[in-house]
Structure 1
Amino acid sequence: MRHKSFEGMDCPIALTLDAVGEWWSLLIVRDALHGLSRFDEFQQSLGISSNSLTRRLAALCDAGLLTRHRYQLRPPRDEYRLTARGRDLQPVIEALGGWGRRHVTRGRGGVRLVDVETGATAEPILVDRETGKPVNTTDFRYVAQRNAPPIKRAKLPTS
């Protein structure tokens, strides 16, 4: 259940959570990345109620992460495909999965991302696009911008 909207915040993380922060949303995107596209496939994979799934799919379409395509007229049946915007969530999904495999499930899980050429399991990391360096708290730091909230300008260096 959503308790509030982050609409008034000037924070990309908060505003992203408005679009995908409900827990089913990222699981639906994960399943779409795994090739699922039909209502019954999502429902079978997630064990989510029909009403909840209907609401989540509509919200993901409204957010521009999925598009609905009719594949059957009688009875009407739709499939849901990731948009480019939705596919751009793959690094987020993989980062959450990697963290979960390291700290929560101790390597368990039924699906892995593998290298197409070698078949080796991928171990995604976040890297800086300019330098290629892995992002970490030793080599990188947060810097408050002019529009940062006062509490953060007080705590962080400024640019």
Structure 2
Amino acid sequence: MEPTSRDGGTRPPAECPPIGRDGADSAVAALLALLGKRHTLAILYRFASDPTPWRFGELEAELGISPTTLSERLAELTAAGFLDRHSYDERPPRVEYIATPRLEGLKPAFTELYRWSSEYGPVTVD
């Protein structure tokens, strides 16, 4: 059966298939849910554009994210495998975050977002 559009006509196969309501494509849905959380894309973009290790305070100052939200997002991104967290047995305690190969796989998406924003200019939200 050929895919149909909302108006009932046939449509060509999509490069970006829709997410089904029946739970199909749950991996895509889970990824979009994570990426849709406040500040997640900004954090990932920072690591994708500069893959050196980042300390919590550096990220907080660079991105202007509250410590509570930043802590939550870093924990979620670490649990999802996009970042690695390295703790050092020092005083004062030192923790660094670094991009993983999983995040490297998203670099083409960030490159495309950068290209798109360069072509179409800033997005204004009222």
Aligned residue number for residue 60 of structure 1: 77
Aligned residue number for residue 10 of structure 1: 24
- Number of matched pairs: 100
Aligned residue number for residue 42 of structure 2: 27
Unaligned runs of 5+ in 2: 1-21
**Higher RCO structure (Cα 8 Å, ≥6 apart):** 2
Q: Report the 3-state secondary structure (helix = DSSP H, G, I; strand = E; otherwise coil) of the residue aligned with 2:122.
A: coil
TM-aligned CA distance change 1:102 to 1:58, over 3 Å: same
Q: Deviations over 1:81-122 (max 9, x none)?
A: 11111111111111112111211339xxxxxxxxxxxxxxxx
Aligned residues with identical type, % of pairs:
35
In the TM superposition, 1:52-131 aligns within 5 A as: 52-71=69-88, 73-105=90-122
Letter in 1 for 2:36: G
TM-score, normalised with respect to structure 2 = 0.68
Q: Report the 3-state secondary structure (helix = DSSP H, G, I; strand = E; otherwise coil) of the residue aligned with 1:22.
A: coil
Q: Is the 8 A contact 1:9 1:15 kept in 2?
A: no
Task: Looking at secondary structure, tell me which structure has more helix per residue.
Answer: 2
Q: How big is the alpha-carbon RMSD for the aligned residues of Structure 1 and Structure 2?
A: 2.3
Unaligned runs of 5+ in 1: 1-7, 107-159
1:55 is displaced (CA, Å) by 0.4
